[in-house]
């Protein structure tokens, strides 16, 4: 099971950062946008909550009094440099995470705390204009030894390629429609003969700016597992089961001009899902311009 973890103009404070978008809800109104040149520091707090798990047919698995909570505090930096007409960007982020699963079945109840997978984006290529942005990137997720031992991080390497864009409906780059498509390829888990299947994901949304400081919109995600989980150690009941998820919710962003920063809040509900917990995710974040 996978448990989840507005473009503001420079005159309105720090722009959005991508500190990892492997899991649904990772990005929203800035999904396919390109930052201006500069160095950005940021933090995220994510909380995923669920009280049910859906099987491969979308039916609820009968587990009494199930309560799943996953928390993550993510710290990262993003840098962007303009070279001729293009923007070259890179990012790194480290999450500290806690996972809690409680039910009447002790065999599925856990409570773990530790470091999650490190997110590294060595290259992002972008184009930026007054009415449209386009981006493409490569990133990877590196497991930590602590994450593997504490059952927080996935004990596997994952590689991700992404591409997307944003269309702005006004010259102030306030009203917009944005989307980011990603393909995630997982390598075999360390210490066990299981390889998670690859996934395709769409994230994005539509929204606008009010009073020059507040961005408000609707965001969503769609995820499909496109290859089966494999490996000699994969339980028989999980063979052929593919993960799928669809979610929707609001996002609110507020610029803090004196601090050259931005606060945002994003809350999304799973509308449907298979072979995974079904619930909701809350993401709170702060981005600051460290250098420009």
Q: State residue 167 phi and psi, 5-degree precision.
A: -110, 125
Predicted confidence (pLDDT) per residue in 57-115, tens digit? 999 999 888 999 999 999 999 999 999 999 999 999 999 888 888 877 665 567 777 78
d(CA 189, CA 153): 11
Predicted local confidence at residue 145, as pLDDT: 62
CA distance linking residue 55 with residue 40, whole number of Å:
40
| DSSP code string of 192-220 | SS-BPPPEEEEEEEEEEEETTTEEEEEEE
Task: For tokens 């992002």, name the residue.
Answer: 124
Task: Pick the closest to residue 6 from 281, 259, 251 (CA basis).
Answer: 251
Alpha carbons within 13 angstroms on the beta-carbon side of residue 226 total 11
Query: What pLDDT does 154 receive?
Result: 56
To the question of pTM greater than 0.85 for the whole model, the response is yes
Give the C-alpha separation, 33 to 260, whole Å.
19
pLDDT digits (tens, 9 = 90+) for 198-209: 999 999 999 999
Domain range annotation of the chain: 10-291
Residue 252's CB is within 10 A of a number of other CB atoms, namely: 16
CA distances from 203 to 60, 104, 164, 187, 194 (A): 25, 35, 9, 23, 27
Spatial contact of 116 and 153, defined as CB atoms under 8 Å apart: yes
d(CA 26, CA 42): 14
CA distances in angstroms from 67 to 49, 59, 70, 152, 277, listed in the order given: 8, 17, 10, 17, 10
Taking the CA atoms of 106, 112, 118 and 124 in sequence, report the sign of the dihedral they define: positive
In this prediction, the residues of the chain whose per-residue pLDDT falls under 70 are 1-16, 105-109, 145-154
- From CA 195, how far away is CA 152, in angstroms rounded? 17
Question: Class of 10-291 per CATH?
Answer: mainly beta
Which tokens is 123 given?
């290259």
Query: What CA dihedral angle connects 190, 194, 199 and 203, to 10 degrees?
Result: -50
At 18, list the tokens: 């991508």
CA distance 136 to 130: 19
Q: Is 28 exposed, middle or buried (0-12, 13-18, 19+ CB in 10 A)?
A: buried
């Amino acid at each position: 099971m996978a448990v989840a973890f507005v473009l503001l103009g420079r005159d309105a404070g720090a722009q959005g950062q991508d500190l990892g978008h492997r899991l649904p809800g990772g990005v929203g109104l800035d999904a396919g946008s390109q930052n201006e040149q500069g160095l950005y520091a940021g933090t995220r707090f994510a909380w995923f909550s669920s009280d049910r798990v859906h099987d491969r047919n979308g039916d609820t698995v009968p587990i009494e009094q199930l309560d799943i909570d996953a928390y993550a505090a993510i710290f990262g930096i993003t840098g962007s440099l303009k070279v001729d007409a293009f923007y070259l960007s890179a990012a790194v982020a480290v999450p500290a995470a806690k996972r809690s699963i409680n039910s009447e079945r002790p065999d599925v109840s856990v409570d773990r705390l530790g470091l999650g997978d490190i997110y590294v984006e060595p290259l992002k290529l972008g184009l930026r204009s007054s009415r449209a942005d386009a981006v493409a990137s490569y990133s990877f997720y590196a497991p930590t030894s602590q994450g593997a031992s504490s059952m927080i991080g996935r004990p596997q390497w994952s590689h991700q390629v992404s591409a997307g864009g944003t269309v702005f409906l006004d010259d102030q780059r306030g009203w917009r429609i944005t989307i980011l498509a990603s393909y995630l390829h997982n390598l075999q888990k360390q210490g066990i003969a299981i390889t998670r299947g690859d996934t395709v994901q769409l994230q994005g949304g539509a929204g606008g700016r009010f009073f020059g400081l507040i961005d408000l919109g609707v965001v969503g995600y769609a995820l499909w597992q496109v290859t089966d989980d494999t490996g000699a150690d994969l339980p028989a009941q999980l063979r052929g089961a593919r993960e799928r998820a669809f979610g929707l919710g609001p996002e609110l962003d507020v610029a803090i001009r004196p601090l050259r920063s931005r606060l945002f809040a994003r809350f999304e509900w799973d509308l449907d899902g298979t072979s995974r917990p079904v619930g909701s995710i809350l993401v709170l974040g702060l981005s600051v311009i460290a250098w420009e």
